[in-house]
Structure 1
Amino acid sequence: MDVMDAIMARRNIKKFKTDPVAREQVLSWLEAASYAPNHRMTEPWEIVFIGPETRIKLNHKANFGDAPVLLALLSQPASSQLARDENVIAAASFAQNFQLAATAAGLGVTWSSLGAAAHNRELMEVPGDYDVIGILGIGYPAEIPPVKPRTPITEKMRELP
């Protein structure tokens, strides 16, 4: 699958098959994701693999679609608000790269913001000055949602003199 196909095929998966996902495969996608743009090569992302006990305590209403692999993506702290913003943007780019790599391999990802809640940050042992970019569930999709309509990009554009 080429990159344009992966971009157009990527969906937020709501339900996964129980088939296991090889850790080596996930690690290869994480490695590829690390090529995301990041200002001054700060590489501000950190990954936390979430085990069964923590997953239960997170108490997600749909159990992350029963995804067989669950991880949290964090963004490291920074010395200024601008640097923090740059770190969060870089970590979000990392997440997108990861999703595209998984999609190209025939797997899917769900991205949840549940990890940002204070009690969930504590459960995941997230230091207070870190940002939680999201909790990602990874697996083989049991169903792939249809494409949702998008606003034509020309309606989101403007030009300056």
Structure 2
Amino acid sequence: MNILEVIYSRRNIKSFKSNPVSMDQIHKWLEVASMAPNHKMTEPWEVYFIGDNTRTKLNHKTNFFGAPVVFAVLSKHGATDIETAENAQATACFVQNFNLAAWAEGVGTFWSSMGIVEKNRQVLGVPEGYDVIGVFGVGYPEEINKPKERTPIQEKIKYLS
């Protein structure tokens, strides 16, 4: 697939096969993800792989749709509020790079924001000075949903003089 096909076809997966995903592949996609733009090369992301015990304590309502791999992506705060916001934006780019790299090789992801809840931050052991950008299920899709209709981009564009 070329990059446009990858972007247009990627979906948030809500049903995974039980087939394992190679950690070597996941590490490769994380390496690719680290090429994300990040202001002043802060590389603010950290990845916490979640084992069965922690996964049970998180008590996600769908158990991450049966994904064989689950991890959290954290973003380190910066020295200023602006740097903290830039770091979160860079980490979101890191996540999108990961999602697209995995999808290009037939592996899907499910992105949950459950890491922003204080109880879940404690379960994950998130230190002060970090935000949880998301908790992700990763695996081979059991099914792929049809795309949801999007607002035409022309309705989202403004031209300033």
Measured on the aligned residues, the alpha-carbon RMSD in Å equals 0.5
Task: Give distance in 1, aligned partners of 2:127 and 2:41.
Answer: 22
TM-score for both structures, normalised by structure 2: 0.99
Task: Give distance in 2, aligned partners of 1:127 and 1:68.
Answer: 26
Name the structure 1 match of 2:70.
70
The residue type paired with residue 77 of structure 1 is H
4+ aligned runs moved over 2 Å, structure 1: none
Measure how far apart 1:77 and its partner are. 1.5
Q: Deviations over 1:109-141 (max 9, x none)?
A: 000001111011011100122000000110000
The residue type paired with residue 153 of structure 2 is I
Aligned residues: 161
Helix, strand or coil: the match of 1:21? Answer: coil
- Pair 1:101-2:101 in alignment: yes
Name the structure 2 match of 1:125.
125
What does 1:144-159 align with in structure 2 at a 5 Å threshold? 144-159=144-159
Task: Give distance in 2, aligned partners of 1:99 and 1:87.
Answer: 18
Unaligned runs of 5+ residues in structure 1 are: none
Name the structure 2 match of 1:17.
17
Percent identity between the aligned chains? 53
TM-score for both structures, normalised by structure 1: 0.99
Helix, strand or coil: the match of 1:138? Answer: strand
Unaligned runs of 5+ residues in structure 2 are: none
